[in-house]
Amino acid sequence: MRIKKGDEVEVIAGKDIGKRGEVLNVDREKDRVMVEGINIVHRHTQPSRQNQQGGIVENEAPIHVSNVQLICPSCGEKTRIGADFMDDGTKVRVCKKCNEIIRE
């Protein structure tokens, strides 16, 4: 998976298409990512000791990684991600549009 925690992504499919947000969590086993402010679900909760009021709580739910695309920090556009090797042998992610190195 080429998307990492802290990356800015844009949703390219689903109910939140076109929205941008930061990746909060990555689940490599299920190929899903949690994006800030994306895929908001409502959970009806009963009153408890922690939540005296109860009611409807809004949370972010995971979205499949194929439905998001990385935003390049250099050019600011959504892009595909390539891999390249530095002179010292370390592998880095590269923007396919502007060929700039994406932060590691």
Name the stretches of the chain with pLDDT < 50.
none
10 Å CB burial of residue 84 (0-12, 13-18, 19+) is exposed
Residue 64 confidence (pLDDT): 96
pTM attached to this predicted model: 0.84
Phi, psi of 65, deg, nearest 5:
-65, -25
Residue 91 confidence (pLDDT): 92
| Parallel/antiparallel/unpaired status of strands 63-64 and 91-95 | unpaired
pLDDT, one tens digit per residue, over 25-38 is 999 999 999 999 99
Residue 79 confidence (pLDDT): 94
Residue 50 confidence (pLDDT): 84
Enter the CATH code of domain 1-71.
Answer: 2.30.30.30
